[in-house]
Structure 1
Amino acid sequence: MSFHPVLVQKFGGTSVSTAERRSQVIGHVRQARGAGYQVALVVSAMGRRGDPYATDTLLDLLRLDGAGAVDPRDYDLMFTCGEAIAVAVVSHALKRAGIDSAGLTAAQARIYTDGHHVESEIVRVDPSRLRELLDQGKVPVVTGGQGVVPGTLDYTTLGRGGSDTSAVAVGVALGADRVEIFTDVEGVAAADPRVVPGASLLQAISYRAMLEMARFGAKVMHPRSVAAGCRAGLPLVVRSTFSDAPGTLIHDGPDAAPIVGLAWLRGMETVTLPGGAMNNEGREAWEARRLVMTVADAEASTLVAGATADKRQELAEAFREAGVTPLKRLGSCAWLSVVGEEAALRAALPGLLALLQQEAGEVHARELTPSRATFVIPDPA
């Protein structure tokens, strides 16, 4: 039995899409092993839509026969193919580089889910097979974004950001020192550089602040993976595959500044609802189904709900089922969130409101929480 610390590294589709990029993956693995870590990898399907083995390209095969809904079970089965291909390719590349490895499907890695197709949740990871491979000196390479249902072993997928969630779940099960999320950026920026040119990279960020950033628009990590790391107290690091920059540490410590960052969601189909339309339990249930984001308007006794365009029809059906009638449809809006400490946010609120009213013309709603101020404004053209 080895007692070397464990490090879980997750590589996205861009990171494993070419031989040159896979050589950089190998470099990170080699460096971590050289530092004394046992390393386990979680990988996504190679490339992006249009690339031969990307998930979206494979899923398009299900649509060749024309329009119509795809059976969720078929969707999940096809989804798993892209990750399985990536695992085999990365494992083979590691072996050619002299690093013993073992490619594993989610079933072989014993990652179990709740059985909901397309947007499933991981309920348990049995780490015994992974530990066995690590103690043999091998690097397990695991398919991300999926798991199997106990008993039936049917595959289900985790939805957006699923590979990050898989990596954190594996890290928790193995008692890892940390999980490194490799991507094509060098860390978490204080704001989207495409929106705020020159936005600085954060050396560290608290779980709470990162969770707010992720929930309200920062795409570098999915909120589920941040929440899972937070529950376990597992440090997470967001860093670039293509450099040796240390990245951003996500941890349970305090934030370095009272205002941490800025996040925003665009293209949110937004409505106002009566304040009593949903209790907290109802809000949480709808948010858990990933149908809706909600804020309680600080100025009026109303609830503001928004969904991305692809969820519009599903949200309308949910309203009908719940007997909820929107008061007003605001159309496509941007939800701008400033993340930080409540005292600093409260002090900045008048200036932020004045600036947004000047620039956007109108602020439909605002919400102040202990860690976030959110403003709903017309979506910029």
Structure 2
Amino acid sequence: MTLKDGLELVKRLMRFGPLMAMATIGIVWCGGLISLITYFPPSKSLKNQLNFIFYFCWLPFTVSNYFKAILYGPGYAPKGWKPKYEEDEQFLQYCKVCEGFKPPRAHHCRKCKRCCLKMDHHCIWLSAIYRNQASFMYFLFGAVFGALHGTVHIIFFSYQQLWVRLTLQPKLVLAVMVSSGFGIGTVIAVGILLYSQLQIVLTNMTGIESWIVEKANWRLNEVLEKKNEEFNYPYDLGKSANFWQVFGRPDEKMNGFDYPVKEDCHKYSLTIEQLLQKKIKEERSVPFKCVKPYSGRKCPFLSYPKIAIFTPLLSDLLQIQEGDEITVTRGKKHWYYGYKNGNKTIRGFMPKTALKAVEEPKKEL
């Protein structure tokens, strides 16, 4: 690890998400450790020693993969990036912020302010896009099963202290019991995330790509009127091949810029589909005018009480002022998505009641 890598890691860790993640792991691990030492001391038997060693290894395994998920891997596309062959530029989207083309499977992250290779989402717990998918999966695995291992011992500890015999200070017992709540929460919440990420690995389809495929199927069925026809997703090579593409030996074909595709697909099949969808989106966009200001804050109960609970919390929100001219490209319940005219780079959701259409939408947004 270079000095630059170390400084970048420290900067990312000093934020709410990483601090909360590390604190939760530490609380659960310490609670489990106290339980082990109290009722399963390593000096008593070989079985206890093996149990202690196995439990002790969860922490470095989980934390080391947490750091690797942030630091190592493809990461960002270089600013001003271009494909090797000039004729390939017609198949790629251009990023005005990074002043370069987006490689296949790359998307611009507004939080990182860079185009990220094989982007799935910006993770608040990493304070970054995870750069190494295998390490991210190992981290989730360690967090879930390490927390499960510790929580089982904490529950046994709590039972022995409360219903059999109180041998330690009540405050220490209470602290260990509180850690069981963190442990159970970690097992459930991170377990769900582990399952969803495993689906991404086995299908070789990120969350963003699943949304692109969904829109591609809509375009085929509704726009082109090819009923019951589905988009041929190019990167799904089968569960086994998809799995080893993430967990196997690194392959120069998977350097973040080039990925193997199905034999009947073009290597730019997905990016070509994105360009077609972008064209349709521009054709369907509708001009609006802001008639009521919106602060861009989540859950605006004071200014928009009727729709506050429907705020798209995981998406970008756009601050607008009365009189702003807005272009809306899509919508969902109670919210429109678009950008201020003259600045396409900053986009987000806005309350529908804050806007008034300059002209009637051609189709429902």
TM-score in terms of structure 1 length: 0.24
Structure of larger gyration radius: 2
Instruction: Report the structure, 1 or 2, having the larger helix content.
Output: 2
